[in-house]
Structure 1
């Protein structure tokens, strides 16, 4: 299991709701969580395939938000 962490601009429950469907549509994800109170509005993703980071970024952008992989916090 790999953990990927992303800095986002997701700060509200409505924003979390907006990214839920696109993120849930990514097959290799085993789970994800957004901490809107974290200084980086951290999106943490559990996956067996760490190559999905581009898919995650695209899914968040499709919902109208931004996500940037934080390599130093991720198990790459």
Structure 2
């Protein structure tokens, strides 16, 4: 299991509620969290099978941007 960290534009609870169904149903994501209090809006994803580019694609599918930290 690895933790991947991304800078995102998921910046409020409304944004979190929009991305939640997508991240929760993505196979390979064990857990995730967005620190909306951090100025970089850091998304942390725990995965055992997905790569950073795959997670970025999932976040973009939900309508947000992500960049590997």
Q: Does 1:63 align with 2:62?
A: yes
In structure 2, how many angstroms separate the alpha carbons of the residues matched to 1:34 and 1:43? 4
What SS is found at the alignment partner of 2:55? helix
Q: Structure 2: state its 5+ residue gaps.
A: none
TM-score normalised by length of structure 1 = 0.81
Q: Structure 1: state its 5+ residue gaps.
A: 71-76
What SS is found at the alignment partner of 1:31? strand
In structure 1, how many angstroms separate the alpha carbons of the residues matched to 2:50 and 2:63? 23
Q: Deviations over 1:28-59 (max 9, x none)?
A: 111000001112100001111252x2222122
Name the structure where helix makes up a greater proportion of residues: 1
Please give the root-mean-square deviation of Cα atoms over the aligned residues, in Å. 1.2
Count of matched residue positions in the alignment of Structure 1 and Structure 2: 69
Q: Given that residues 7 and 66 in structure 2 are in contact (C-alpha distance below 8 angstroms), is that contact kept between their aligned partners in structure 1?
A: yes
